Structure 1
């Protein structure tokens, strides 16, 4: 939640740039207007600054005298075209050059022109190398360009010049949240708020960090503080909606979202929550519209994809569902949930053969693939785009994946290493290099890349990859501790809890496994057949056979063809001594579709 909105630079921060007085030859009246404009910029009022600067021009100021300030004022207002007219010529009066180059760098960065932004920041560095705000801007540019390690270095540089700089502390908080967790980030927000308690952006970031850190009461207080400081601030209501949804209070979440209205529809997280709430309320058509917009903006978000698929199914748009998700369902890593949704769509249009094939695949899928998903089509489909620009992540990732799928591990390693050489501090590049090495059988090298990537960005899938690489080189014993630390840092990670439950079950700690899986069930896992089957096993091993039967029956109802669900239900029936004929049928179904195992043999022996 926080990352998408927080890493974007608040334009109002331009007002914090020092507005140096222009040439002494400026007429006194023009100087007064310029000074008033400087004050307006410091409080973030770009419109007032623009008015005063126009008055300064009429009073005799030269265009170069006000160019830096006018460009900054227009940037604060979001008028990027107007700002470019003042900043792009690079004609700034003596004493205003630093402000001008910093503002131009920010303009270029906001428009995605990172090389041009870097050039402008270099000119600013030549004038004011110790400016903390400049280093904050450089850090944001580096992050935007995927240079995560270098972004952290820039934030540290800014803090070395001014340990209490609000914007530097804010940037540090945002970056730390992705690597060390949002609890750690909250500390930096608190330090920044000590110096700027009324800063709306800081309060919003702090509320989001507290929510992600699993501190809902404190997050709620911060959200209410945000509303008290800025009554029309939609993020205050949105954060409360998120907290209510996480607590399972759907009605309260919906009420909070109604207060937000459409004011945050540009934020994918807000669209996603609105779509999920509408889907729960039975408004499938509206949910499909909202979730479709979310998927367009965040195509790599798996939760948004699955919710969108469900919304299309429930709205009766079966053709759109099949067309939109056919390629995703064809992947070997397609989720059982998506395959089940697709099967129902095929059933509705009368294609029972396709529906049966989808259900068979859903039943056979094993959870938690650790390798990157394969791209459909051979490497030739992606080679041209990669050759045209080898430094673009969007061109490199599918090419590497297609090479892995084609079995060309040496070339996959070469391409991934080439991208890493171009972006040595990028968490994405380090992770991709690890994927290529893991696919090539070099687990030790892969682990080193993954661990380096986790130091700058630690998404939950990186945790899975570290676990896979560790297992392959005989270091799996370290995983329980790492998973526990990750779950503590990122309590919102369902995947970390899932891994912790699996590790607990493997160690025979069935009570802990049960508690973790029941937590996941309450957090949206009641439609996950595999999770419910695993919960049934944990409940059975904990001595609660009736709860095990309830969970297994729910899993089997969701996926009757699943061998895991059939085995769980059969074992629970055997333990309770209920319906031996059905138990025998289920155990045989599990054996035929999933293969025999020691648990099945033991359950069958009890029936004789």
Structure 2
């Protein structure tokens, strides 16, 4: 039994099963072993076999807590959330002080929209097991969602120290190091994982991410192939595969992969823009115009999408349509928040109402787009009433109040949502709301906190650099911009143009010219690109720029 429990602790379901079946064959009652045999089958990815041991709930009193806990895990893995809750409740009646049970209760609550209660469960799990690696990892994941990568790292470090060699823990730690910009430390952990178990597929996926970020796309492709089909079929795997194909010139394959992801995530505008880029580079101009022509004309469209669709029109000989979109792309972007249209048809959204979370979000957004903030508030409040602990429901209620010009109420909802999960879109809405309330110092403090917690996030770094540049802190702005460029912002013409302006202020004309030229190359019609190039190169460039822009139809 000691051998079996040790195998279960290190995640070796097969070894545990061998030891447990020896006990079973030697006469140990089934009820005394069922909980552990069920866990062993779960570790091996065998839910049908696990249910044979756990489903009937036939355990001894000593093992009942663990047995119902494992039954709850089985139900949760199969999406049976109410049944999982019942099983965890029964487990809690036997083992109320189990930190790992409270971790799983927290995970169930989080998945079910009771996220404030999930935070409470995470805190309780660490109180019951301050050295328990699963409790520490869960707290790290919660901290990562709410406070950023830097805040999560100490929790993961403690978890890894509490249970050295646990590969899933090390993978979470490595991924968080990567998002915190600690690439060398990430690579060190990943290499330790590979040395410990060359068959652990997640380590190859993490190495593929590192290689892609370093621009080694051929190596990234090989590592991604080694990571297995399961990793490649996740949203992160599809995105990575699409980006690798884009960068290696496999535009048709990139479009296919990104289209698959976009159909899963129709609200993801970054994926939409990448798909549009793949179609454009592959010469599929007609499809690009057909799929994204309407989206490119919306106020919320990115200048990049507008430029891609505009150039597609131009390639098809539709110069009037191209001129409209290229003109939209060249206008200075407003910093105001805009209500985004839902991806679904508005009539379908209105028919479905607000019964589910996705439907509620689409319905509220459709009311905001239509200017009916009163109905948006009603629907968002009703949704929040059903899921009072949901970060999404709180943020949606804040959106409705903000659209109704109630920034104080919106801020209260946003602040509660941010204690659970603070994405950049939510942080940006909070920053705008603080400005609307006249609390600009608090807005900049929040922006700094976000950049500190998410050092690989390009847009917030760019925004903070803009604030520093406007205040005359040119060197600090340049440092932030350099970091943003290294983190993936090297194709943003606005960012490059600002870096060129900072270089001019710092008497670095060669650097200014290089940055301005890069911005102009990416988007010649963008006013920031033109202005940066003129400032960096002087009046001698005016004629050449005029001729170049005339030739591209502007």
TM-score by length of 2: 0.89
1:245-286, CA deviations, whole angstroms, 9 ceiling, x for partnerless residues? 334455654564465465631333233223212221112223
Measure how far apart 1:49 and its partner are: 4.4
Structure 1 residue aligned with 2:381: 417
Separation in structure 2 between the aligned mates of residue 359 and residue 579 of structure 1, nearest angstrom: 22
Structure 1 residue aligned with 2:451: 487
RMSD value over aligned CA atoms? 3.1
CA contact (8 A) 1:363 1:562 kept: yes
1:453-498, CA deviations, whole angstroms, 9 ceiling, x for partnerless residues? 2222121122211111011111012233322222121101112201
Q: Does 1:216 align with 2:180?
A: no
Structure 1 residue aligned with 2:47: 80
Q: 3-state SS of the aligned residue for 1:264?
A: helix
Q: Does 1:496 align with 2:463?
A: no
Structure 1 residue aligned with 2:423: 459
Structure 2 residue aligned with 1:505: 469
Separation in structure 2 between the aligned mates of residue 379 and residue 547 of structure 1, nearest angstrom: 48
Q: 3-state SS of the aligned residue for 1:231?
A: coil
Q: 1:60 to 1:501 in 2, by over 3 A?
A: same
Structure 1 residue aligned with 2:410: 446
Structure 2 residue aligned with 1:242: 209
2:104 to 119, 137, 147: 137
Structure 2 residue aligned with 1:151: 118
TM-score by length of 1: 0.82
Structure 1 residue aligned with 2:311: 344
1:356 to 300, 323, 332: 323
CA contact (8 A) 2:349 2:359 kept: yes
1:362-417, CA deviations, whole angstroms, 9 ceiling, x for partnerless residues? 22361655344223678653234234x2xx32111111111111111112112222
CA contact (8 A) 1:234 1:263 kept: no
Separation in structure 2 between the aligned mates of residue 280 and residue 587 of structure 1, nearest angstrom: 27
Q: How does 1:301-316 map to 2 (within 5 A)?
A: 301-316=268-283
Structure 2 residue aligned with 1:394: 358
CA contact (8 A) 2:68 2:90 kept: yes
Measure how far apart 1:181 and its partner are: 2.2
Q: 3-state SS of the aligned residue for 2:393?
A: helix
Separation in structure 2 between the aligned mates of residue 110 and residue 413 of structure 1, nearest angstrom: 35
Q: 3-state SS of the aligned residue for 2:353?
A: helix
Measure how far apart 1:570 and its partner are: 4.0
Q: How does 1:22-421 map to 2 (within 5 A)?
A: 38=5, 40-50=7-17, 64-250=31-217, 253-254=220-221, 256-257=223-224, 259-260=226-227, 262=229, 264-326=231-293, 328-364=295-331, 366=333, 370-375=337-342, 380-387=347-354, 389=355, 392-421=356-385
CA contact (8 A) 2:310 2:326 kept: yes
Unmatched tracts of structure 1, length 5 or more: 1-33, 594-608
- After TM superposition, the structure 1 stretch with the greater mean CA deviation from structure 2, 276-285 or 375-384, is 375-384
Q: 1:75 to 1:330 in 2, by over 3 A?
A: farther
1:135-174, CA deviations, whole angstroms, 9 ceiling, x for partnerless residues? 0110111122233322221111111112111110111111
Unmatched tracts of structure 2, length 5 or more: none
Separation in structure 1 between the aligned mates of residue 2 and residue 362 of structure 2, nearest angstrom: 53
Structure 1 residue aligned with 2:440: 476
Separation in structure 1 between the aligned mates of residue 21 and residue 353 of structure 2, nearest angstrom: 48
Q: Which has the larger radius of gyration?
A: 1
Q: 1:270 to 1:194 in 2, by over 3 A?
A: same
Count of residue correspondences: 551
1:520-574, CA deviations, whole angstroms, 9 ceiling, x for partnerless residues? 334433332333333333334444455445434443443343333334444445x
Q: 3-state SS of the aligned residue for 1:578?
A: helix
Q: 1:385 to 1:65 in 2, by over 3 A?
A: farther
Measure how far apart 1:206 and its partner are: 1.3
